[in-house]
Structure 1
Amino acid sequence: MWVFRILHQHKLLLVWTRRLQQPGLISRVGSQFASYHVSAALQRPKGSSIKPVVKRQRWQERERSVQGKAWRNETPVLQKQTQTRTDGSRVSSELRKLCLDDFPAEREKLVRERSTPESRAENHEIVFGIAPCLLALTHGRRKAHKLFVKDGETSNRSSVVKVCEEAHQRGVQVHRVSKRDLDKMSSGRVHQGVCLQASPLRYLTEDSAPRRNDSRPPLWLVLEEIQDPMNLGAILRSAYFLGVDRVASSLHDSCPLSPVVSKASSGVMEVFGVYGYENLEDMLRLKASQGWQVVGTVGTEAEQSHIPVGQCSDFQMTKPTLLLMGGEGEGLSKELLSLCQTLLTIPAGRELFPGIESLNVSVATGILLHSLLSTR
């Protein structure tokens, strides 16, 4: 009797093999064969000489051979199913984005997890160098996130230890990384073994100006289109050291307050705020109406104009003054020159060859500032 039953089972296998070639049935093959295998084992006739384990092994071998043929015959269907699963995963990703839009806290957590130390996202940047990192931590104008220190003997230097202590006191995480990582964060610049991930600094506005408690006449340094960050950093360092009351800059065609500027200023940018103006002409007219004197600067070979030109060593600062410095190459624009009441120049100490008759803007600024501020 059981022999006929086995023959019947062979017929069923052939039927299932043909049906397996139809799309949409492959996902149910495993469950179909599993249930059939159990029912065949339960229907084993009593007194049969075939042991259950041997019979189960034979059925498993047959199932594997049949399934293998079915898989080989249905390769296009499998590819189609794989594409379907890929599309489904894409939809799931889009749905996840929609869910994150409904839960801002979860979205911020995901962004933090995916962020890398060298990332230049809008909410942070990499400050590098001992002085910039230390002053950024101590003055709190930035929001510090992480401090990265070169692993090895560098981390034992007293200057680096001081930066790490300031970070610990403010709850900023300190990470030991390789020099290669720091080089990548600072884009190959001199980082002195320290990098700080912090929020960027912006130009200040007129509303944020503090009150001045000095009886001496103030001096504002006005910069028009300074584009080199190294020049801007050097100018800030000189202005802070010599006692300038405010540095004002045009917002258009001027370099931003980047970590490069901070490093060039030896960290002065972290302490000394720079004010940005959309329209310098309006600000100059307003200050002139309030009794300030507007002083421009020109080279030794400046063109003749109706505005008096004098040497900086002969100028006496007796009232609030605005000192204007133009950008690299072109100098002050005609619009700003027309608003000046006096023009100053730095005399040369020798006869100059053509093409090298001028000074770097940061060097010229330092000389002029020292000359003016020493007379007030």
Structure 2
Amino acid sequence: MVFGVAPCLLALSQRRRKPTRLFVKRAEGQPREAVQKVCEAALTRGVPIQHVTKRDLEKMTGAVVHQGVCLQASPLGFVTEEKPTRPQHGSHPLPLWVVLDGVQDPMNLGSILRSAYFLGVDRVASSIRNSCPLTPVVSKASSGVMEVMEVYGYNNLSDVIKVKLGQGWQAIGTVGLGEASAGASVVPCSDFQMSKPTLLLMGGEGCGLSPDLRELCDVLLTIRPRRDLHHAVDSLNVSVATGILLHSLLSSRAVAA
């Protein structure tokens, strides 16, 4: 059950799902314009529309914010097969992938997808075994971006990263301010210049980046706080940190000839 105006509208228009029925909150008079657009998209696809009570929608969605619409449709999953890429001609920005290692909170995953899409990331990749699947909650948290942007899933991120490193890419991880690291240099994100194709590796909530992936990193980035921090508040939410790092990297990236 996809819920929310933007997820339902994009699920109907992108045609990556097979929709079977649209449920709309029963109301007096004309529905608001946003809901009307969802209904029009459903009619275009030949999807039946059923008007139900607010309580019915809450039962379908588990009492989350549904904005008056809920779409019954086939699920979306990770892309697990590589697709051929178009050759680049002339100058073009260096590619940047976000690689997610164990992000389990659907709200965080949705927020990361939204930031990655908005900022122009070339691919989002995720581990499959220890990460959040692509649920309707993720779609709602992404404001429907999950319906537009494919998310690649891998059983072994380490193997994928090693292949890209062999192709001349660099792997960049993250650490907390002042955190020690063996091997890779630690650099404030504001001082880093992206000069080659890059994988930004982000660890999950709590545990952070796994040791085997951290060992593959060429550089570890930190985000400098703008104040003296209380010892109990010494880090950022993974989705917020990802957005900051992506903006910093993409603002600094060079153009490949």
Query: What TM-score, normalized to structure 1?
Result: 0.65
SS in structure 2 of the partner of residue 148 of structure 1: strand
Structure 1 residue 306, shift from structure 2 partner: 2.2
Query: CA–CA distance in 2 between the matches of 1:141 and 1:374?
Result: 31
**Aligned match for 1:302, one of 179, 185, 196:** 179
| Aligned: 1:221 with 2:91 | no
| Aligned: 1:354 with 2:231 | yes
Q: 1:349 to 1:319 in 2, by over 3 A?
A: same
* Per-residue deviation, residues 237-283 of structure 1 (Å, max 9, x unmatched): 00000000000000011011000000000000000110000000000
**Aligned match for 2:3, one of 113, 122, 128:** 128
How many matched pairs?
251
Aligned-partner residue type, residue 169 of structure 1: T
The answer to whether the 8 A contact 1:300-1:347 is kept is: yes
The answer to whether the 8 A contact 2:173-2:217 is kept is: yes
Query: CA–CA distance in 1 between the matches of 2:60 and 2:205?
Result: 29
| Aligned: 1:144 with 2:19 | yes
Spell out the pairing of 1:1-376 with structure 2 (5 A cutoff): 126-153=1-28, 156-208=31-83, 210-211=85-86, 213=88, 215-376=92-253
Structure 1 residue 211, shift from structure 2 partner: 3.1
Q: 1:173 to 1:317 in 2, by over 3 A?
A: same
SS in structure 1 of the partner of residue 36 of structure 2: helix
Q: 1:347 to 1:275 in 2, by over 3 A?
A: same
Aligned-partner residue type, residue 23 of structure 2: F
Query: CA–CA distance in 1 between the matches of 2:87 and 2:243?
Result: 23
Query: CA–CA distance in 1 between the matches of 2:28 and 2:205?
Result: 41
Q: 1:150 to 1:335 in 2, by over 3 A?
A: same
Structure showing the higher helix proportion among its residues = 1
SS in structure 2 of the partner of residue 206 of structure 1: coil
RMSD of aligned residue pairs (Cα, Å): 1.3
Query: What TM-score, normalized to structure 2?
Result: 0.95
Query: CA–CA distance in 1 between the matches of 2:29 and 2:80?
Result: 39
The answer to whether the 8 A contact 2:110-2:142 is kept is: yes
Query: CA–CA distance in 2 between the matches of 1:254 and 1:155?
Result: 41
Query: CA–CA distance in 1 between the matches of 2:133 and 2:30?
Result: 31
Higher RCO, 1 or 2 (CA under 8 Å, sep at least 6)? 2
Query: CA–CA distance in 1 between the matches of 2:214 and 2:87?
Result: 28
Structure 1 residue 353, shift from structure 2 partner: 1.2
Q: Greater CA radius of gyration, 1 or 2?
A: 1
Structure 1 residue 153, shift from structure 2 partner: 3.9
SS in structure 1 of the partner of residue 207 of structure 2: coil
The answer to whether the 8 A contact 2:100-2:202 is kept is: yes
Aligned-partner residue type, residue 114 of structure 2: R
SS in structure 2 of the partner of residue 207 of structure 1: coil
Query: CA–CA distance in 1 between the matches of 2:47 and 2:249?
Result: 42
Aligned-partner residue type, residue 64 of structure 2: R
Identity of aligned residues (%): 63
Q: Which runs of 5+ in 1 are unaligned?
A: 1-125
